[in-house]
A = this chain, B = another copy of it.
């Protein structure tokens, strides 16, 4: 007769900047229980990490005998315990080799992030590498796009992370909308942005690479002042401009390759539309599931005996 603790192979934790998600996982990858909260790295940096984990483990009905695998910002320098970046090129199926064990009760480990240590194009990520591990097959070659506050474009060669580029698309959209003269050009009722003619026009113009971002931004305002465009379309045009610039930059850098989009919700639908509109052949994976699947793969590498 085995209780909940015994049926769990491990606990998967996606510990981000501003959120915490944990699953009690069976050996076959089935999630048995789920717990989430707002206790991200920023919260825990002052309030402590161990008590937050303990509270969620209790909610999941897990005893201290079950190992825990964490990905995300909990492994940053300003997190719980630093899990130093692995350096590109970095095999995704060996990601677990970089896991760092936390000096606490039980077996708790944190997966590393990935650094691209090229002085001309330095890059880092932490959490997305685990999502990618969960989303692709071992031998995949191509690009993975993970849109968001800081959109990541990751080049994969035969299951190994070869390089990456971060675009501050989501964060720029937020601060430009909230804090610049374009506040007057954006109608908050038009959020979230949905595909449409205004978005497509701005997207195509930016993706063609003929516009510089900085001057294109002001033209959004001027076009409304002169009656060429409507305020109701401002948010869609700004979004199209930023996403188009992102796709143009990534394409300039990596060319066109097989493409996986890891996204969900409104943002996922918008990026899928944008990529298809620009002629990309894209396969979409639901970003909600990929971190858990990546943690599962890495855990199977770390604790083989628990997954037999």
Contact = CB atoms under 8 A, between A and B. Distances in A.
Nearest to A180: B171
A119 B205 CA distance: 13
A174 B179 CA distance: 9
A167 B174 CA distance: 19
Interface string A158-173: 0000000111110110
A228 B119 contact: yes
Interface string A233-277: 000000000100110110010000000000000000000000000
Interface stretch (A31-39, A43-51, A219-227, A299-307): A219-227
A5 interface: no
A122 B172 CA distance: 22
A222 B124 CA distance: 6
A112 to B, nearest CB: 14
A252 B166 contact: no
Interface stretch (A95-103, A189-197, A207-215, A278-286): A207-215
Contacts of A214: 167-169, 172, 213, 242, 245-246, 249
A93 interface: no
A7 B123 CA distance: 66
Which size class do A's interface residues fall under?
A: 35 or more
Give this chain's copy count: 2
Interface in A105-122: 115-117, 119, 121-122
Interface of A: 85, 115-117, 119, 121-124, 150, 165-169, 171-172, 174-176, 178-181, 212-215, 217-219, 222-223, 225-226, 228, 242, 245-246, 248-249, 252
17 contacts: A85-B226, A115-B222, A115-B226, A121-B219, A122-B228, A167-B214, A168-B181, A169-B214, A171-B181, A172-B180, A172-B214, A178-B179, A212-B213, A212-B248, A212-B252, A213-B213, A214-B242
By Cβ-Cβ distance, the 10 closest A-B pairs, closest first, are A212-B249, A166-B218, A122-B222, A167-B214, A175-B179, A122-B223, A175-B175, A213-B213, A119-B228, A124-B222
